Copies of this chain bind each other. A is one copy, B any other.
């Protein structure tokens, strides 16, 4: 049985899923002072989408989010964080779902569950994209990083979901910084400032930023970075308790 026969069988029948509820994952990738976003392109369509999926009837929501992300993109061990539920009644995407399935040679029967209204639970993560190797799933041609400010138009309300995730990321950066695990074991204030500037998409004043980041009480100063000019060398920091 080929992978495609599996897919056909799965989607043409009614899978044992929590009806009317989906999950969408907004994966931000940071590297070299650039912020990118992970998108799938569905086979034989021009449809770009966030990686998303459904919850099995007997599966914890948080497990479902990790499974969906892995099934759609191959990414594992990601620190996913819930951020918002999208629940408007017009989240009903019969025709787009039909075309996505058609692009994979799959026919949706009348009353297929994908014709229902869905509320979607949004999860986001910010990862070091140089350490991630995403790959497309069976329904998709590509799974790639896109410059956040040059993304294609997305299906459904995925542009809105992405926007809300970005707002959440910007507000939560102080609090999630340690968990995201984006910096090397030791780092300079300048390195952490670059991360903030990239996520916030604005230049920050160094003295203000230094005061603010130190006031969070999450950094421990260790020693000066070794360079030729000792008196100009910046201090190195690490996260307290790491």
Contact A57 B117 (CB under 8 A): yes
Task: Provide the bound-state CA to CA distance between A139 and B186, in Å.
Answer: 58
Contact B59 A21 (CB under 8 A): no
Task: Provide the bound-state CA to CA distance between A82 and B164, in Å.
Answer: 13
Question: Given contacts A18-B20, A21-B119, could you give 11 more A-B pairs where the C-beta distance is less than 8 Å?
Answer: A19-B19, A19-B20, A20-B20, A21-B21, A58-B89, A58-B117, A61-B86, A61-B87, A61-B88, A82-B84, A82-B85
Task: Provide the bound-state CA to CA distance between A62 and B91, in Å.
Answer: 13
State the Cβ distance, A43 to closest chain B Cβ, in Å.
Answer: 30
Q: With CB as the reference atom, state the residue of chain B lying closest to A174.
A: B171
Task: Kindly supply a per-residue 1/0 record for chain A positions 10-34, scoring 1 wherever the CB is within 8 Å of any chain B CB and 0 otherwise.
Answer: 0000000011110000000000000
Q: How many residues of A contact B (CB 8 A)?
A: 24
Main secondary structure of the interface of A (DSSP, over half): mixed
Task: Say if the beta carbon of A55 comes within 8 Å of chain B.
Answer: yes
Q: With CB as the reference atom, state the residue of chain B lying closest to A18.
A: B20
Instruction: Collect the chain B residues with CB atoms within 8 Å of residue A59's CB.
Output: 89
Task: Provide the bound-state CA to CA distance between A57 and B118, in Å.
Answer: 10
Task: Say if the beta carbon of A121 comes within 8 Å of chain B.
Answer: yes
Task: Say if the beta carbon of A242 comes within 8 Å of chain B.
Answer: no
Contact B171 A55 (CB under 8 A): no
Task: Say if the beta carbon of A60 comes within 8 Å of chain B.
Answer: yes
Task: Kindly supply a per-residue 1/0 record for chain A positions 49-64, scoring 1 wherever the CB is within 8 Å of any chain B CB and 0 otherwise.
Answer: 0000001011111101
State the Cβ distance, A69 to closest chain B Cβ, in Å.
Answer: 15
Q: List 15 A-B contacts (CB under 8 A).
A: A18-B119, A19-B20, A21-B21, A21-B119, A55-B87, A55-B119, A57-B117, A58-B89, A60-B87, A60-B88, A61-B87, A62-B87, A85-B85, A87-B121, A171-B175
Name the interface residues of A166-182: CB closer than 8 Å to any CB of B.
171, 175
Most buried by B among A62, A64, A89: A89
State the Cβ distance, A70 to closest chain B Cβ, in Å.
Answer: 18
